Amino acid sequence: MVRELGRDAYAAEAGTLVGTWVSRGWSAGLAVPPDRPDWSDDDADAGLEGLVSVLVARRDRPRRLSVCGYLVDTYCLGVKNALGPTVLGDRELPDFRRRFFQSMQWVEAPDELARHLVFGAVDHARSLGFEPHPDFAPAAAHLGDRPGSSALTFGRDGVPTFIAGPGDDPARVIRTLTRAVGADGFQAVTHA
């Protein structure tokens, strides 16, 4: 009977949200609805322009967490990378979070914001012809229920903007953007 009660308690706790964090500056260039003061970004200029890191932790079992992380290009490419689910001990979360965000500052955020950021960026990127990183598929469910459509407006000030990063193929991205929105429908910042 004690084991059965323990199993029931474990089952009720598994999957419970423990915390959600986003990198400071997540809203730079995005249109955020004014009726969402809980989505405020105190320092919209603190982050890497157009790149947002999102970390979600859920209870896996007693004293164990399951975490997933997402690197999101909110201007153009959507989910550039995903991590997890990774299971770790409760005490390991602070160090894991510090390593995940590296030199970026992070803030705790509502889980709804994380869903709108990540799924909205995926939808925006798909509308431009880009699919999320393959590692997104196993990490997507960790975010929770997908919103119908995002309350955020993506792109830099609403304009698809490609800022080339390591591992990007600028020629391929520009060809894809040109097919999707025309040669004058986007901005591109590439480094020679």
**CA distance readout (Å), 99 to 6, 89, 94:** 33, 15, 9
Buried b (16+ CB within 10 A) or exposed e, 164-174: eeeebebeebb
- Look up the domain containing 171 and give its range: 2-189
User: Higher-confidence residue: 84 or 1?
Assistant: 84
pTM over 0.85: yes
Distance CA(88)–CA(4), nearest Å, equals 25
The distance of Cα 181 from the centroid of its chain, to the nearest Å, equals 24
167: left (phi over 0), alpha (psi -120 to 50) or beta: left
- Name the pLDDT band for 77 (thresholds 50, 70, 90): very high
Could you give the number of structural domains in the chain?
1
Which pLDDT value is given to residue 15?
87
**Tens digit of pLDDT for each residue in 119-171?**
999 999 999 999 999 999 999 999 999 988 999 999 999 999 999 988 899 99
